[in-house]
Structure 1
Amino acid sequence: MTTTAPPRPAAPATPPSPPSPGRRVLARLLRWWRQLTAMRTALVLLFLLAVAAIPGSLLPQRSLSQNSVNRYFQDNPTLAEWLDRFYLFDVFSSPWFAAIYLLLFISLIGCVVPRAIEHGRTLFTPPPTAPRHLHRLPEHAELPTTLPGTGALDVVEEELRVRRFRVVRREGRSGPEVSAEKGYLRETGNVLFHLSLLALLLGLAGGKMWGYEGSILVTEGQGFCNSFQQYDTYSSGPLVDSSGLSPLCVDLDDFQAQYEDDLTASSYTADISYQLDGGDPVGTTIGVNDPLRIDGERVYVTGHGYSPEFSLTLPDGTSFTDLSAPFLPADQGTLASQGVLKVPDLGAGSTDQLAIEGFFAPTGVTQGAGILTSVDPRPLDPQVAIVVYTGYLGLDSGLPQSVYSLDQTQIDRGLLTEQASGNLAVGESLTLPDGTVVTFSGYQEFAALQLSHDPGQLWVLAASIAVLLGLVGMLLVRRERVFARVGPAPDGGGTVLSIGSLTRGSADTGPRFTALTDDVRAALAARAPAPPGAAPTAHEEAPPS
């Protein structure tokens, strides 16, 4: 008796060991890198960068005009506070804008560099072999000819070389064939476009890192030197050394403003003289779109206004003349301006300080209740409305304060006391209770000047031109491939030339392919041998009789 043991159960399959934590982290990082360097991601980031720049165009920016930002805070205090929390008054230096900018930069590098390497290899790679079924290409034709196969391919090769195709002739799987390709400049333009865009971002980033700009109000007869301490407002990149600024000094000799009939400004011109590194003064004229360009610096005229002039006569006969300060325009249409003149030193023996807070009207008109207003930006009838204070200005308290306005806390604490107020025309005076006489003696014009240094400017210009050239190549050049193959005719007499074409980036391929086949057909007919017994053509000579 034989007993058969039951089969042993199969051993359970050993489960694959899970990947190590390091490998899992590496796989996740590689997946994120592929997503970041995808062209779709680059396009999304480019769109986000354009959208993020919109607030910088709609809202005033501190880097361009601190006064406009201050005015926005005065007009919309609650909204401005919330907008400032999201850096909407410093859009182009905000962390979220820099994050988009940096991600776009990395994405473009990951997209463009491998593509440029691949295109470089393609330039030295012959055209691909012809597909087996040429009749499946978008454009194809079959041309019968009596020429042998090599002769027919010679005709096709000549016609393609005339059209500047790169031609390769080889023995294919289905017989002798010709492969031709042109339009490499299309992909070259594509690579140039993206590399130039990358260079453009680099130039802009370099300008932000090593560039700086400062703004200052300069009254006629005064000037400034290129030093951060002298500017009203300035901004500089993190790699700028304040001790390495160019030694440029500028003096404002004269300023002229021209107006249209509707009182809108048509031009601002400033006659200036400048010195570079202690050299001789050089005179020139600059305008809004005609800045001074020297030693990598640009000096622009960005606006103008008025500086009222006052004279003080103290009770003991001491006088101070030609005291002036820029008044900032509150109304750009009429240049009605507000400001303050601070006099911290009234001479020996005086402990009080004096301030003249006022409103300047280039063409003044007094309305009801003695309210002064301006109706014209031109100085046809200059007047001022002033309030004179005496006391302690707090200039040496160590606390920052604006040179264009009084510290309201000094007034609220009683450290500054109002002494008198009134409206004055040129030459009129206001007498204070202690006998001090304040006289409105005239005005001078000031120019708002901005000095900018951007080392990436030429780089950005060259990159922008390259972007346009690359875009032209992408739009105008077509990538075309033409394949030809010969085979015997079905009836055994002659050869059939099969031609197919494949074009990328164009919809009007039919006319060009038709022109190519017509020329090939005509060349084949011209080279075909004449049939036996055919009459001689007109240009052939008749044999002698």
Structure 2
Amino acid sequence: MTVVEERPAPAAEPPRRPFRAWALLRNSWRQLTSMRTALVLLFLLAVAAIPGSVLPQRAVNAEKVAGYFREHPDLAPFLDRLGGFDVYASPWFAAIYLLLFTSLVGCVVPRLLEHLRALRTVPPDAPRRLERLPQHAAPLAGPDDPAAAAAAAAAVLRRRRFRTVVRERPDGTWTVSAEKGHLKETGNLLFHFALLAVLVGVGFGHWYGWHGNRLLVQGADRGFCNSVTQYDESSLGPRIDASDLPYFCLRLNEFDASYQDSGMPRSFGAHVDVQTEQDGPWRPEEFTVNHPLRLPQANVHLLGHGYAPILRFTDRYGEQQTKIVPFLPRDQMLTSEGVVQFPDVNIDPKTNKRDEDLQVAFEGVYLPTVDPSGGPTSVFPAERSPALFLTAYRGNLGVDAGLPGSVYALDRAQLANGQLKQVSGERPQRLTAGQSWTLDDGSKLEFLGTLQFATLAVRYDPTQPLVLGGAAIGLLGLMLSLAGHRRRVWFRVSHPEASEPGGGGSLMEAGGLPRTDYPGFAEEFEQVVAAVRDERTP
């Protein structure tokens, strides 16, 4: 007897568990690069840009941001912490922007490769059961042979810009395959690549662009040159240094403004002198709100304008100082607020020392057209009956502390702690051009008139042509995508059965299939079939 030793069967290897981290990354990438995610991110980007249109932005107009802080002292700091006044430079906007860019690249590149393969691929052969297609034409006998009938059908389809292939089968049957509508996918890809171009242009424009805002008062001695230190507010791209700014100088000669009867502006025009080379000639230029001044590597945009009162102060010792101070508009009728500070007055000629507690400031409102009923606001933006209403303050202005402060408002902390006080017994004084106001200590303030000022935004974006081209191509791609409809048409031509009448000719059958939603395909199919039948008619 033979004894067979039983050996235990080898243990089966446990099934391999997929690497969870890799699976998570793969699934996350697929989800991110899906068209649905790209559309959601595009919608989120549009929603995220809404605060940039509703709230004033520091990069565009810092004065309006300051005005928003004055009007909403509780809400403005909270919005500022969220980046509401620097929306397009905020981290959350950049996160949506980068995710959308990644999603578009991951979505568009595979679709482009698939579209190129589709363009190189010939239309497929006719299916066996044409009668099952959405569009079908019953067989029609004709006098010509199958090869000639197939060639005639192909000629009709090519004239209608169908991609056409004629095939002969082993059983003697001829088929014609035609396809049309690849421009729809071409338009889709053009639109998405144009969107990528816009995103790239915005990104590189932020890197290599710069901008600055300047409030420029009228007068040949009030001009400025393109330097960071001469802007009221400026921002340089991460790849730009202050030394990279091009040279030019600008001075405002005259400002023309016309208004409708309602006070709404009709036209704004700034007349300036421009110098684009050091020690070069000055040339006159003119630009308006919608037509900026175009300089080499910079565009100067006109944002608004206002009035700058000219005030001359004579202190208690007879010394005079004259200042031209812009008052910022607070409404469309150019009711303007401002402050004029004289910190270097009342210097004792005997000791040549200045008493900090004898500094003087005037805060008030300028009305281009005073309301006859005595209202606190202007009733028209042009200077029809101008007046300046001022309140005098004396004390320590706080300008010697070395802390930054606004030149358009007094330091409220100095008023709160009593170091700066309103001149006792003095109420807001109304002044017209040429009038003067004598204070309680014998000092005098004279209102000499006003000059106009313009608020300018100087911009340079090297990728502006790319963004403009991307927008134009995107519009073209969208039109192609909406107008294009992919569809296929087949014709099968064969010999009829010998038992059928008309033997010796050919029998033609047609079918059509729309690849996308195309309500007009049935009518087009009937027209194609009718044209082929007319071509076959002797």
TM-score relative to the length of structure 1: 0.88
* Residues 51-100 of structure 1: per-residue CA shift (max 9 Å, x gap): 22222222232323333333333333333333333222322222111111
Residue pairs, 1:255-270, within 5 angstroms: 255-270=255-270
* Residues 397-435 of structure 1: per-residue CA shift (max 9 Å, x gap): 321111111212233344434345522222222223332
Instruction: Supply the distance in 1 between the matched residues of 2:5 and 2:318 (Cα, whole angstroms).
Output: 131
- Asked if 1:412 is matched to 2:416, the reply is yes
Instruction: Supply the distance in 1 between the matched residues of 2:72 and 2:344 (Cα, whole angstroms).
Output: 37
Instruction: Supply the distance in 1 between the matched residues of 2:163 and 2:336 (Cα, whole angstroms).
Output: 72
- Asked if 1:436 is matched to 2:437, the reply is no
Structure 1's unaligned 5+ residue stretches are 527-545
SS of residue in 2 equivalent to 1:409: helix
Instruction: Supply the distance in 1 between the matched residues of 2:321 and 2:23 (Cα, whole angstroms).
Output: 78
Contact 1:83 1:89 survives alignment (8 Å): yes
**Structure 2 match to 1:487:** 494
**Structure 2 match to 1:356:** 362
Bigger mean CA deviation after superposition, 166-175 or 284-293: 166-175
* Residues 490-543 of structure 1: per-residue CA shift (max 9 Å, x gap): 4352322122222334211122211221122122221xxxxxxxxxxxxxxxxx
SS of residue in 1 equivalent to 2:57: coil
Match of 2:48 among 31, 36, 52: 52
**Aligned partner letter, 1:497:** M
Instruction: Supply the distance in 2 between the matched residues of 1:514 and 1:272 (Cα, whole angstroms).
Output: 67
**Structure 2 match to 1:84:** 80
Residue pairs, 1:395-406, within 5 angstroms: 395-406=399-410
C-alpha spacing 1:499/1:173, structure 2 compared with 1 (3 Å): farther
Contact 1:367 1:373 survives alignment (8 Å): no
- Asked if 1:386 is matched to 2:390, the reply is yes
Residue pairs, 1:111-510, within 5 angstroms: 111-141=107-137, 142-172=139-169, 175-221=173-219, 222-278=222-278, 279-321=280-322, 323-333=323-333, 335-346=334-345, 349-352=352-355, 353-365=359-371, 373-419=377-423, 422-490=429-497, 491=499, 493=503, 494-505=505-516, 506-510=518-522
Match of 1:511 among 523, 526, 536: 523
Deviation at residue 45 of structure 1 after TM alignment: 0.8
Contact 1:259 1:267 survives alignment (8 Å): yes
C-alpha spacing 1:372/1:425, structure 2 compared with 1 (3 Å): farther
Instruction: Supply the distance in 2 between the matched residues of 1:287 and 1:350 (Cα, whole angstroms).
Output: 48
Contact 2:249 2:275 survives alignment (8 Å): yes
Contact 1:308 1:327 survives alignment (8 Å): yes
Deviation at residue 273 of structure 1 after TM alignment: 0.9
Instruction: Supply the distance in 1 between the matched residues of 2:27 and 2:332 (Cα, whole angstroms).
Output: 55
SS of residue in 1 equivalent to 2:168: strand
C-alpha spacing 1:510/1:285, structure 2 compared with 1 (3 Å): same
**Structure 1 runs of 4+ with >4 Å offset:** 2-12, 365-368
- Asked if 1:103 is matched to 2:107, the reply is no
Instruction: Supply the distance in 2 between the matched residues of 1:318 and 1:525 (Cα, whole angstroms).
Output: 109
Deviation at residue 328 of structure 1 after TM alignment: 0.8
**Aligned partner letter, 2:354:** T
Q: CA RMSD in A?
A: 2.5
**Structure 2 match to 1:41:** 37
**Aligned partner letter, 1:36:** L
Deviation at residue 245 of structure 1 after TM alignment: 0.9
C-alpha spacing 1:373/1:516, structure 2 compared with 1 (3 Å): closer
C-alpha spacing 1:48/1:392, structure 2 compared with 1 (3 Å): same
Q: Work out the number of aligned pairs and report it.
A: 518
Instruction: Supply the distance in 1 between the matched residues of 2:528 and 2:269 (Cα, whole angstroms).
Output: 62
Instruction: Supply the distance in 2 between the matched residues of 1:172 and 1:40 (Cα, whole angstroms).
Output: 43
Instruction: Supply the distance in 2 between the matched residues of 1:367 and 1:158 (Cα, whole angstroms).
Output: 85
**Aligned partner letter, 1:156:** A
Contact 2:340 2:361 survives alignment (8 Å): yes
Instruction: Supply the distance in 2 between the matched residues of 1:462 and 1:179 (Cα, whole angstroms).
Output: 38
Deviation at residue 372 of structure 1 after TM alignment: 5.5
**Aligned partner letter, 2:242:** S
Deviation at residue 448 of structure 1 after TM alignment: 1.0
**Structure 2 match to 1:25:** 21
Instruction: Supply the distance in 1 between the matched residues of 2:378 and 2:492 (Cα, whole angstroms).
Output: 87
Deviation at residue 367 of structure 1 after TM alignment: 7.0
* Residues 110-149 of structure 1: per-residue CA shift (max 9 Å, x gap): 1111111222232222222222222222222222223222
Contact 1:366 1:372 survives alignment (8 Å): no
Bigger mean CA deviation after superposition, 304-313 or 411-420: 411-420
Instruction: Supply the distance in 1 between the matched residues of 2:54 and 2:417 (Cα, whole angstroms).
Output: 39
TM-score relative to the length of structure 2: 0.89
Contact 1:129 1:172 survives alignment (8 Å): no
Instruction: Supply the distance in 2 between the matched residues of 1:364 and 1:516 (Cα, whole angstroms).
Output: 76
**Structure 2 match to 1:529:** none
C-alpha spacing 1:27/1:228, structure 2 compared with 1 (3 Å): same
Instruction: Supply the distance in 2 between the matched residues of 1:330 and 1:192 (Cα, whole angstroms).
Output: 46
C-alpha spacing 1:414/1:124, structure 2 compared with 1 (3 Å): same
Bigger mean CA deviation after superposition, 75-84 or 191-200: 75-84
Deviation at residue 235 of structure 1 after TM alignment: 2.9
* Residues 163-212 of structure 1: per-residue CA shift (max 9 Å, x gap): 22222222347743222223322221121111111111111222222222
**Structure 2 match to 1:533:** none
**Aligned partner letter, 2:493:** V
Instruction: Supply the distance in 2 between the matched residues of 1:430 and 1:481 (Cα, whole angstroms).
Output: 89
Instruction: Supply the distance in 2 between the matched residues of 1:355 and 1:282 (Cα, whole angstroms).
Output: 39
Deviation at residue 467 of structure 1 after TM alignment: 0.7
* Residues 185-243 of structure 1: per-residue CA shift (max 9 Å, x gap): 22211211111111111112222222222212111102222222222222333222222
Bigger mean CA deviation after superposition, 509-518 or 490-499: 490-499
SS of residue in 1 equivalent to 2:467: helix
**Aligned partner letter, 1:125:** T
Deviation at residue 27 of structure 1 after TM alignment: 2.3
Structure 2's unaligned 5+ residue stretches are none
SS of residue in 2 equivalent to 1:401: coil
C-alpha spacing 1:372/1:130, structure 2 compared with 1 (3 Å): closer
**Aligned partner letter, 1:511:** E
Contact 1:355 1:388 survives alignment (8 Å): yes
